[in-house]
Amino acid sequence: MQEKILDFLSKKQGYVSGDQISHRLGVTRQALWKHIQELKNLGYEIVAVPHLGYRLDSCPDRLFPYAVTRELNTHFLGKKVYYFDSVSSTMDTAMQLGMKGNPSGTLVLAESQTKGRGRLGRNWFSPKYKGIYLSLILKPRVLPARASMLTLLSAVSICEAIKEMTGIDTQIKWPNDILAGQKKLGGILTELVASVDEINFVIIGIGLNVNNDKKMLISAATSLKEQKKEFVNRITLLQELLRKIEVNYLLLEKEGSESIIEKWRRYNITLGKRVKVYCQREHIEGEAVDIDTDGGLLVRKDSGIIEKVMAGDVVHAR
Ligand code: BTN
């Protein structure tokens, strides 16, 4: 009912009488009053004036499922949303939900994480209401060996959404670092539940620094607020991100990897550089020459031999 009330109020300019809302939505005046109080407690600024009715003045900076899915207009992504004020990690929650059979496109959102994690066992700093922390359950029709295409696809989608909503140019450092002004703005963590030849489901975890103040960030990190010098609306950015992921996901299913890799090349800053890729116990050094159709990085070593790396930490030498 609260969602219906918000929808009704947001479509009207100015005041709407309590009678009109009660009548249209089939609630008593008393119940309406209670719902309005609850919405106010959630941070919605609703002005109530006797004889005039209610007016919605502003919505809170919260990623409430209602606000995120409203006018989202996706086909399958975000049709089911789980929202938390705080979780240990959206990856763990999504994993449990995936195991319970939640459908492809299910979105897990949190306003903060107590144990947000990054790649290679690192922590992901997830302060409350400052960033976007999400995990998506996806069930792509690709072989497990191709799952890293989803990481590239997500990276492209992040860059596209940021450009569209803020005008900020971002870059991708292989495989999954999103940079702005040469500092880390976001990252992607991909986890997989699969057998040898079939993906059961994939979890794409995305962390983005949005409204973090500069003084709260380590020197190697940045936020959209720091880059743009103004507050960024997390809801509209998240909506655009979900739309872009869906578009690129459908493109991948229809046209295959090359369509995504082509877009990825436009944003990447790794190809053409001399790199050191640290993988578990060894490191590979050479020139990053291309991306393979499975998302692996092709590195030409000084011996001339081209080696493919599927995961690792890249350091750009020049
Ligand atoms: C990286 O760059 O190392 C990847 C960072 C991924 C962070 C996101 S935040 C939402 C999701 N939940 C997590 O615990 N991690 C991912």
Cα-to-centroid distance, 288 and ligand 1 (Å): 25
CATH classification at residue 28: 1.10.10.10
Is the minimum distance from the CB of 154 to ligand 1 under 6 angstroms? no
Is the minimum distance from the CB of 248 to ligand 1 under 6 angstroms? no
Cα-to-centroid distance, 194 and ligand 1 (Å): 20
Is the minimum distance from the CB of 18 to ligand 1 under 6 angstroms? no
Q: For residue 187, which atom of ligand 1 is closest to its CA?
A: 2
CATH classification at residue 310: 2.30.30.100
For residues 109 and 135, give the distance between their C-alpha atoms in angstroms, rounded to a whole number: 7
- Last residue within a domain, chosen from 247, 267, 287: 267
Residue 289 shares a structural domain with residue 195: no
Residue 114 shares a structural domain with residue 255: yes
Q: For residue 119, which atom of ligand 1 is closest to its CA?
A: 3
Residue 100 shares a structural domain with residue 222: yes
Give per-residue pLDDT as tens, 31-86.
999 999 999 999 999 998 988 989 999 899 999 999 999 989 999 999 999 999 99
Give the per-residue pLDDT at 289.
95
Residue 157 shares a structural domain with residue 212: yes
Give the per-residue pLDDT at 120.
83
Is the minimum distance from the CB of 91 to ligand 1 under 6 angstroms? yes
Q: For residue 177, which atom of ligand 1 is closest to its CA?
A: 2
Is the minimum distance from the CB of 113 to ligand 1 under 6 angstroms? yes
For residues 250 and 243, give the distance between their C-alpha atoms in angstroms, rounded to a whole number: 11
Residue 296 shares a structural domain with residue 150: no
Average pLDDT, consecutive stretches of 10 residues, N- to C-terminus, the chain (318 residues): 87 85 89 92 91 90 94 96 98 97 98 95 95 97 86 96 97 94 96 90 98 93 97 97 97 92 95 91 92 91 93 83
Cα-to-centroid distance, 295 and ligand 1 (Å): 19
Nearest CA to ligand 1 atom 15: 117
Q: Centre a 10 Å sphere on the Cβ of residue 20 and count the other Cβ atoms it contains.
A: 14
163: left (phi over 0), alpha (psi -120 to 50) or beta: alpha
CATH classification at residue 223: 3.30.930.10
- Last residue within a domain, chosen from 58, 76, 93: 58
Cα-to-centroid distance, 115 and ligand 1 (Å): 10
CB 89 within 8 A of CB 78: no
Residue 204 shares a structural domain with residue 153: yes
- Last residue within a domain, chosen from 41, 58, 75: 58
Is the minimum distance from the CB of 256 to ligand 1 under 6 angstroms? no
Domain membership of residue 312 as a residue range: 274-316
Give the per-residue pLDDT at 51.
87
For residues 97 and 91, give the distance between their C-alpha atoms in angstroms, rounded to a whole number: 10
Residue 35 shares a structural domain with residue 69: no
Residue 87 shares a structural domain with residue 161: yes
User: Among 110, 144, 137, 102, which residue's Cα sits nearest to residue 126?
Assistant: 110
Residue 245 shares a structural domain with residue 308: no
Give the per-residue pLDDT at 318.
62
Q: What total number of domains does the chain contain?
A: 3
Please provide the DSSP assignment of the chain as one string. -HHHHHHHHHHSSS-B-HHHHHHHHT--HHHHHHHHHHHHHTT-EEEEETTTEEEEEE--S---HHHHHTT---SSTTSSEEEES-BS-HHHHHHHHHHTTPPTT-EEEES-BSS-B-GGG-B----TTTEEEEEEEE--SS-GGGTHHHHHHHHHHHHHHHHHHH----EEETTTEEEETTEEEEEEEEEEEE-SS-EEEEEEEEEEE-S--GGGS-TTB--HHHHHSS---HHHHHHHHHHHHHHHHHHHHHH-HHHHHHHHHHHBSSTTSEEEEEETTEEEEEEEEEE-TTSPEEEE-TTS-EEEESS-EEEE--
Cα-to-centroid distance, 253 and ligand 1 (Å): 25
Helix axes 234-255, 148-166, angle to 10 degrees: 140
Give the per-residue pLDDT at 128.
97
- Mutational test site, ligand 1, from 82, 122, 133, 177, max ligand atoms within 8 Å of CB: 133
For residues 77 and 69, give the distance between their C-alpha atoms in angstroms, rounded to a whole number: 10
Residue 201 shares a structural domain with residue 301: no
Is the minimum distance from the CB of 151 to ligand 1 under 6 angstroms? no
What single-letter amino acid sits at 16?
Answer: V
Residue 248 shares a structural domain with residue 288: no
CB 169 within 8 A of CB 163: yes
Nearest CA to ligand 1 atom 11: 205
Cα-to-centroid distance, 154 and ligand 1 (Å): 12
Residue 112 shares a structural domain with residue 196: yes
Is the minimum distance from the CB of 171 to ligand 1 under 6 angstroms? no
Is the minimum distance from the CB of 174 to ligand 1 under 6 angstroms? no
Average pLDDT, the chain: 93
User: Among 173, 187, 175, which residue's Cα sits nearest to residue 126?
Assistant: 187
**Model pTM score:** 0.93
Please provide the DSSP assignment of 271-308 as one string. TTSEEEEEETTEEEEEEEEEE-TTSPEEEE-TTS-EEE
